[in-house]
Every structure is written in C-alpha cells, then in structure tokens.
C-alpha cells in the first residue's frame, strides 16, 4: 500500500489533475486531497459559498480489470438556508463508488455496486471527479437544523402574506435535478 500525499501546502488552484487510474488501481493506492471552494468552480455555480472545503480520500482498486474508486468525502459547505435564506454551514460525510469505463455504452449499467464514469483510465481527472462527487453530495434542501433556524419559532402561525397566491416558490429544491443535469453533460 502506497500513499500519495499532496506535497504542496499551499498549491496553486489546479483545474485539472490527471492521474493514471489503471496504475493506481493495480497498486491499490489511496490518494488524499483537500479542495477549497475556489478550486471547484462548479460548486460556486451551485450556490456554495466561500469558507467551504472538502477532503476526499480516493481509494483505488481493480474490479473486473477496470480501475475502481471508493471515495470518502468529508467537509463543510456554506449554502443558503432555504427557510431563512441566511448562510448555513453544513457538514458533508459521504461515500462514493465509481468505476472507470472508456466506452459510452458501458455507462448504462452498474458493475458490482460501482457507478460507471466515462474517462480515460490513464488520464483520470481527480479534480473533475472531486467536483462531481461534491456536487452530488450537496443536500437537496440546505437548511439549518430544527431549532437553529431563525425563521422557525418566530411567529407560531407562520401566516403567508395574502395577495400573491400564484407565486410559486422557485428556490425550494435548487439541487433537485442536479443528477439529471450532470448525466446529460
Ligand atoms: Zn435557516
């Protein structure tokens, strides 16, 4: 078991990091990375604010001759609470399991519980994968915990203002279709 640690304490924001997933899988290598919000631009597009960061352990292994990655993602993301619209820092603690396939036709079905991702096995972009998995780990409806949200408990009746009955709340589920969007890319 070998470990590759990020050598630079304050490295410049890298937008790609290509690794040889096939070789890492053969050696069953674990790779640890930490990403600040600014290094994952698609998170900002999804409403993730400054002060967010995630650490991810990518554990590589082989499955049916293909490189597979079991990931452990932990971190804190700052989002807008959907009840009070103020900032709320939420803890992420997610696992993911992906397998690298090189043909689009192989994307259709899971293998051994691994979700297929299309990439060149010898040039897997860890940065892209980190961004992708963090987006999927975001809560569908970010909100303060019950009791911690200023919006709750203020007025027990929670009466809606009359007069605009047709106004539909458009910010209820900002990430509801995220998986669809990601899969259509
Ligand atoms: Zn709130």
CB burial class (10 A; 0-12, 13-18, 19+) of residue 96? Answer: buried
**pLDDT at res. 82:** 94
- 157 falls within a domain: no
- 143 falls within a domain: yes
- 173 falls within a domain: yes
- 125 falls within a domain: yes
- 76 falls within a domain: yes
What is the CA(86)–ligand 1 centre distance, in A?
6
pTM for the full predicted model: 0.73
Structure confidence by residue, pLDDT tens digits, 16-70? 899 999 999 999 999 999 999 888 889 999 999 999 999 999 999 999 999 999 9
Q: Report which DSSP code applies to 114.
A: B
What is the CA(131)–ligand 1 centre distance, in A?
25
**pLDDT at res. 147:** 87
- 156 falls within a domain: no
What is the CA(47)–ligand 1 centre distance, in A?
15
Structure confidence by residue, pLDDT tens digits, 64-77? 999 999 999 999 99
**pLDDT at res. 77:** 97
Q: Report which DSSP code applies to 2.
A: -
Q: How many domains does the chain have?
A: 1
What is the CA(126)–ligand 1 centre distance, in A?
33
What is the CA(48)–ligand 1 centre distance, in A?
15
- 100 falls within a domain: yes
Cα dist from 153 to 21, 34, 66, 81, whole Å? 51, 38, 53, 15
Boundaries of domain holding 21: 3-148+165-178
What span, in angstroms and rounded, lies between the C-alpha atoms of 126 and 31?
Answer: 10
**pLDDT at res. 131:** 93
- 155 falls within a domain: no
What is the CA(154)–ligand 1 centre distance, in A?
12
Q: Which two tokens stand for residue 120?
A: 């060149």
């Amino acid at each position: 078991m070998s470990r590759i640690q990020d050598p630079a304490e304050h490295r410049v924001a890298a937008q790609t990091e290509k690794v040889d997933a096939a070789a890492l899988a053969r050696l069953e290598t674990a790779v640890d990375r930490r990403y600040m919000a600014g290094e994952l631009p698609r998170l900002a597009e999804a409403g993730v604010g400054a002060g967010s960061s995630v650490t991810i352990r990518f554990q590589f292994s082989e499955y049916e001759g293909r490189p597979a990655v079991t990931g452990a993602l932990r971190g804190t993301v700052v989002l807008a609470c959907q009840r009070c619209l103020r900032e709320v820092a939420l803890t992420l603690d997610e696992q993911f399991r992906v397998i690298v396939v090189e043909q689009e036709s192989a994307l259709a079905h899971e293998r051994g519980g691994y979700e297929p991702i299309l990439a060149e096995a010898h040039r897997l972009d860890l940065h892209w994968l980190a961004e992708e998995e963090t987006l999927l780990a975001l809560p569908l409806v970010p909100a303060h915990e019950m009791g911690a949200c200023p919006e709750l408990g203020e007025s027990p009746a929670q009466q809606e203002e009359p007069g605009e009955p047709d106004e539909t709340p458009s910010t209820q589920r900002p990430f509801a279709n995220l998986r669809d969007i990601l899969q259509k890319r």
